[in-house]
Structure 1
Amino acid sequence: MASLPLLVCFILCTYNSLAHGGNEEEHVLVAVPTSRYSEPAATCSTSRVRWLDEGSNTVSVPLVHRHGPCAPSTRSSDEPSLSERLRRSRARSKYIMSRASKSNVSIPTHLGGSVDSLEYVVTVGLGTPAVSQVLLIDTGSDLSWVQCAPCNSTTCYPQKDPLFDPSRSSTYAPIPCNTDACRDLTRDGYGSDCTSGSGGGAQCGYAITYGDGSQTTGVYSNETLTMAPGVTVKDFHFGCGHDQDGPNDKYDGLLGLGGAPESLVVQTSSVYGGAFSYCLPAANDQAGFLALGAPVNDASGFVFTPMVREQQTFYVVNMTGITVGGEPIDVPPSAFSGGMIIDSGTVVTELQHTAYAALQAAFRKAMAAYPLLPNGELDTCYNFTGHSNVTVPRVALTFSGGATVDLDVPDGILLDNCLAFQEAGPDNQPGILGNVNQRTLEVLYDVGHGRVGFGADAC
């Protein structure tokens, strides 16, 4: 019953606003059934997937969550806990911050429930004939890779799909050691020792260690990547992994979307102009998309903020303010001086100290009708037991240039009944815009024009 006054106020105020032709209260509080985000979905819905017009110079693949029914394989019974997922996300964010301080194709994207993660996956084809591969999308790294046969349980983690077998592909070729591509790989920090191939000659080695402790090594290789029926990327450079370690889940590999030359985005820039976008679905039973190239309708429906390129892998923007329930939090501009890295692989948004403290205080005040959980994995978690509806304040982020983005309610604000933000550190270090806050938005990385766009309600 503690939520009744807020809920009644919301309903009456909204009615009064509508009766007088206004809609201000709609932008302050939203009453949400607790079942909206507390009950797992059992079936997949693709009703809001963006499909492109025939003949457009774009290609799209579905994008889904790794743990949901839209994922391409069945849900795991031993998926990691929220605590473990957030531990990995925090480790990843520390790694990103350590580095940061120094025509169109569209495919469905899914929340990766079936491969035990809060990250997002796409399904593409690799090789000739094409073999389906379920890959994480990652804007915070560049080199794509898959686990390759031969590989046993001591050198590769268990994945749900068969390993990619390069010997069965007519278009696979290892990249020789003494080549520009191999030298560039070493220059960009992904190179490793050369290895002797089965057919003779030195093959280019790659090695990557991620912030969560996982790592992959193998042979830098050349192959055909199929993004959609009839849409292929010839001579795609990727890592054929023969030795993986760490807390990997059951995906087949990773699709790198960063800004360095090894990424899919840069490798296809001559065709798609170096632009890409995605929409991360809010729920396990929904699909979004990953699109290479600028949207067909160009800037329509987007708000834009300048992109700050301080490090070639990461996409950085400047945040200028946050509102909670329609009221701006009281923080000086210097609170955001470190910038914000937009990252599809970090789960929870990390704000600088001053900004986070102000956001936390404002959000807790707005949610005072609900008891705080003292020992949540995040520090602002709530007990909604006994409430069929919960009144959640709207949260909006403002970026340089005046771009204001309303976060989806509740899925872009709450994660397992917790505020999906945490403190990153001092005000002068970078923050990270995590994937929860990005849900349902089309996030457009328009590198050629030096800007990032946000389009509302895209999936």
Structure 2
Amino acid sequence: MSFVIQGSMSRALFLCILLCSSCSVSTGGGLEPNPANAESEQKVMISSSNRAFLPLARRRGPGSPAQTEHEPRLAEALRRDEARWNHIIGGSVRHTAVGSPDSGVVIPAELGYSVDSLEYVVTVGLGTPAVPQTVVVDSGSDFAWVQCEPCDSGECSPQKDPLFDPRKSSTYAPVPCDSGACRDISYNEGNGCTGEKLCGFALSYADGSNSTGVYSRDKLTLAPGVAVEGFRFGCIHGRGGWHDTSAGLIGLGSSPESLVSQAAPSYGGAFSYCLPPTGSAAGFLALGRPGDASGFALTPMHPSAHVVVFYKVTLTGISVAGRPLDVAPSAFPHGDYGMILDSDTVITVLPAEPYAALRAVFRRAMAAYPPAPPIHPVDTCYNLTGYGNVTVPGMALTFLGGATVELDNPSGILVEGCLAFRGLRPDIHGNGIIGNVNQRAFEVLYDPEQLSVGFRAGAC
């Protein structure tokens, strides 16, 4: 089947995560970190070549580090999306302490088919010697965690990589319960002390997954010779409700626990990524502001008054086949109820009015193709089996300030034959979400210091 497209480094160090099927991750010497630094303070080391490569992929997908024989099911991804949005309107991912320059580094990343997901993953090295861990990259979360030994088979979820064993790492250290790092965990409701005087925590995610463990520090190797010393993360000894075979998660949100914030002293607070449209395409994640942002369409970033982890923008219009929808800009979420940019949500969420207008126009443009049964909550799907050429109408999103983004066609518009948008009930009001399908093939630049978000087309 083929598709016919219709319609129209600054001083901060630059860290890229390349989503490329031609890159490979070494599980031996390639990820072996340099000799451990005895200092406990966090520091970022840069290789002499200024570039190192490591893959980024879909959480489930061809070309990701742990290949599976099937692509992820859209229905499962949409169930997770639904739970995630319901949680977002009530708050954020919750983590609670419990008692009892212009140089660059390139890291490969991929679509996560290999670990049964439609999200995106990277493989990093944790500890000394470095143990490869394939983790989800999430711009809507701030905490980082992996499953750790010891862990009973009945408590830990199956994963592609070996469990991280902190007892075998010469640079591992638990975070003391009386330290500032423990007290400052977001939503800390206690003193964080376990019976062993370590910093304990509990995580509860929107899709029902949950985890408990010990807040820890260790070396995070991003590429050969490039590591974050003393990286803070959660060492989990059991998780429930997790539905893929990744080792854990690294958050890119704006809270102090995120990778972005922990690396900010060296890279600055800006970062960008390009999510590949397919499992075989190449892309990247970068920490640091690019030296030349002239190729980006920029729109204001709106800090959240209530949940610091999210990055929000204001959507003002949508065009289909070059024609704007007849919807007023005020019909889209704005202000503190703007659109959340989220790399871990698959489908874009719109209020009822703009979605109804989008659906009507899109269905008319796709009238030549037979409909397929809806997959809740997505209601516009097509059976494209047997069609040699499929003409998909072009689509563009317009943001506050006039930034217009022509979605990649068809990968940024359709997912498994379904329109990659969903609508809310008319009686529901809250944040919308721009999912990762709409973001495919764009470099999306987050710059909290300049309070702006940028989009650069055709970046991967």
Give the structure-2-normalised TM-score: 0.84
- Superposed CA offset, 1:301-333 (max 9, x none): 111100000131000000000000000001112
Q: CA RMSD in A?
A: 2.6
Aligned residue for 2:32?
A: none
Counterpart in the other structure of 1:218? 213
Q: For 2:79, which of 74, 87, 90 is the aligned residue?
A: 87
Determine if contact 1:45/1:286 at 8 Å carries over to the other structure: no
For 1:25-44, what aligned pairs fall within 5 Å after superposition? 28=7, 44=21
- In structure 2, do the counterparts of structure 1 residues 224 and 45 end up closer, same or farther at CA, with 3 Å as the change threshold? closer
User: Following the alignment from structure 1 to structure 2, what is the Cα–Cα distance between the partners of residues 117 and 190?
Assistant: 32
Distance 1:350 1:228, change over 3 A: same
Residue type at the aligned position of 1:438? Q
User: CA, structure 1 residues 63+383, in 2 after alignment: closer, same or farther (shift >3 Å)?
Assistant: same
Measured in 1, the distance between the counterparts of 2:366 and 2:409 equals 14
Deviations 1:401-431 (A, max 9, x none): 1100011010000001110000134574210
Distance 2:383 2:416 in 1: 10
Residue of structure 2 equivalent to 1:279? 274
Q: 1:422 to 1:190 in 2, by over 3 A?
A: farther
- Residue in 2 aligned with 1:432? 433
1:240 is matched with which residue? 235
| 2:310 alignment partner AA | F
Q: Aligned with 2:193: secondary structure?
A: strand
| 309, 319, 323: which one aligns with 1:327 | 323
Alignment gaps of 5+ in structure 1: 11-25, 30-42, 48-52
Distance 1:390 1:334, change over 3 A: same
State the match for 1:74 in structure 2: 67
- Show the counterpart of 1:336: 332
2:29 equivalent in structure 1: none
Residue pair 1:317, 1:340 contacting (<8 A) in 2 also: yes
* Residues 1:308 and 2:308 aligned together: no
CA distance in 1 between counterparts of 2:308 and 2:63 reads: 33
Separation of aligned partners in 2, 1:241 and 1:434: 28
Name the counterpart of 2:264. Answer: 269
Offset from partner CA, 1:219-272 (integer Å, 9 cap, x none):
000111111111111111100001200133100110111111110101111111
Matched, 1:379 2:379: yes
Q: CA deviation at 1:181?
A: 0.7
Bigger Rg, structure 1 or 2: 1
Structure 1 residues 450 and 55 mapped into 2: Cα distance closer, same or farther (>3 Å)? farther
List, as ranges, runs of 4+ consecutive aligned residues in structure 1 with deviation greater than 6 Å: 53-60
Rate the CA distance shift 1:356–1:342 in 2: closer, same or farther, 3 A: same
Looking at secondary structure, tell me which structure has more helix per residue: 1
Match of 2:344 in 1: 345
The Cα shift of 1:284 comes to 1.5
How far apart, CA to CA, are the structure 1 residues paired with 2:418 and 2:240?
Answer: 31
Give the equivalent residue in structure 2 for 1:180.
180
Deviations along 1:57-104, one digit per CA (max 9) or x if unpaired, are 777643211222321123156x75321221112111221222269x45
> Does residue 299 of structure 1 match 2:293?
yes
Q: CA deviation at 1:288?
A: 1.7
Partner of 2:28: none
Using the aligned pairs only, state the percent identity.
57
Opposite residue 271 of structure 1, the aligned amino acid is S
Does structure 2 retain, via aligned residues, the 8 Å contact 1:59–1:292? no
Unaligned runs of 5+ in 2: 9-19, 25-45, 94-100
1:195-234 pair list within 5 angstroms? 195-197=194-196, 202-234=197-229
Deviation per CA, 1:172-194: give whole Å up to 9, x if none.
00001011111101x53487852
Q: Secondary structure at the match of 1:239?
A: strand
Number of equivalenced pairs: 412
Correspondences of 1:384-423 after superposition (within 5 Å): 384-423=384-423
CA distance in 2, matches of 1:86, 1:231: 36
User: Are the counterparts in 2 of residues 351 and 425 from structure 1 also a CA contact under 8 Å?
Assistant: no
**Partners of 1:155 and 1:110 in 2: CA distance:** 28
